Amino acid sequence: MKPFPTWLTPATLTSLLLLTPTASTAATTPASPLADDSSSPLACDNIQVEGGHTYNLQALAGPHVVVTGEYTRPTYHNTTYAIDVCRALEREGEGEGCPGGTRVCAIKHRWNRKEDKMTGIDQVIPLVVGDDKAVTWQAKRLPADGEGKDDAPKDGKKEGLRLTLQSGATYQDRAQRAVVEFRCNPDLEGAEGEWESVDKYKPVKGEKARREDKDDEKKDDGKKDDGKKDDNKKDGDKVSDPSTPERQVKKDDAALVWGGYKRERDADGKELDTLYLTWYTKHVCDTAVDQPVKESESWGFFTWFVILVFLGIAAYLIFGSWLNYNRYGARGWDLLPHGDTLRDAPYLMKDLIRRALNTLQSTGSRGGYSAV
């Protein structure tokens, strides 16, 4: 029998065993773990990625929702997925929902198809909960299909940003996270084609006006949807509907697209649920990246205060001069109101300064006594 090599020590054997993949790890590909590359809090108006690029998603602030539908005999379900990349969601009114501070929330409703209304809530899943400091995030720039190649497809995916959000939120002992893939579309703001949801959230300042501009479009789409619902009901009366998997209920021009709510495994083999969303918007196009935020062009309080004081003094002097001229026929300095005081102002100021200097010089080493 040949002797063992001298380098084959117990420590070396342990290192080799740790580096060798096991059957379970080699056979499965775990979901990529969320590495917290950034120690700074999440700020939607200043998302920095490797390469020095900075993204500003402030225009997408406010609650945005996608609605999915599924049928598992004998129950229909509609699920509302709500997200706000800039702040916590705030529900309008009372009712069952995600706790305060939730950034991404899923609410699963039971739907009565015959009466066309929701009859209850089966699940409330807070996916991302916490303030800017509590949310772990990772951002990565996404290149366009064929970027840098001469034969790049013209109709391929454009450049974008992948934003992964995760907190300590769990559901049924499974960690939760959201992966949002922003893709460049120069023709979309990011709120187009959003489906009306039964779950209402408070919009941010300015977003309500933008949504009201699309009311006419929603009404027209609603009329078309009503026809589709009637057709579905007729089909359902004829044959028994088969079970259908979860899929998004969306309009043709939807900017926010549901990509799935999937159960995966992390690097440690633990189960976690991931919500995938694709968001088409012009705010992640290369032409919009690294653009400085436009400062407010309105004047501040101090500027307005100085202007008003100046105008007030000017009006007082002009009106007083006019009054003195018409009433007393005054000329020169006598035109100005309180002309004597204004004429003596330099001398009064000079005398005040002299007195102050004398007071400071007199408090020397005489102990309060004046020289004789």
Residue 4's pLDDT band, with cuts at 50, 70 and 90, is very low
Summarize pLDDT for 189-241 with one digit per residue, the tens. Answer: 999 999 888 887 778 665 544 444 444 444 444 444 444 444 444 444 444 56
Residue 297 above 80 pLDDT? Answer: no
- The pTM score is 0.62
Cα separation, 276 vs 180, in Å, equals 6
| 136 contacts: CB under 8 Å, gap ≥ 6 | 34, 36, 165, 166, 167
Coil, strand or helix at 136 = strand
Phi and psi angles of residue 65, each rounded to the nearest 5 degrees, phi first: -130, 150
pLDDT of residue 183: 95
User: Hey, which bits of the chain come out as E strands?
Assistant: 47-48, 54-55, 64-72, 75-83, 102-112, 117-129, 136-142, 160-171, 174-184, 244-249, 256-265, 271-281
Decide if 31 contacts 266 (C-beta within 8 A): yes
Question: What is the domain partition of the chain in residue ranges?
Answer: 29-284, 301-354
What is the CA angle 83-78-283, rounded to 5? Answer: 30
Cα distances from 295 to residues 58, 243, 300, in angstroms, run 14, 53, 12
Cα separation, 197 vs 178, in Å, equals 20
DSSP type of residue 190: S
Cα distances from 235 to residues 99, 225, 232, in angstroms, run 39, 15, 5
Cα distances from 323 to residues 14, 320, 333, in angstroms, run 102, 5, 14
Cα separation, 208 vs 212, in Å, equals 6
Summarize pLDDT for 352-362 with one digit per residue, the tens. Answer: 899 898 888 87
| Higher pLDDT, residue 205 or 286 | 286
Closest CA to 137 of 230, 62, 53, 36: 36
Provide the sign of the torsion angle of the four alpha carbons 156, 258, 174, 98, taken in this order.
positive
The average confidence (pLDDT) of the chain is 77
Q: Which range has highest mean pLDDT (153-162, 233-242, 288-297, 314-323)?
A: 314-323
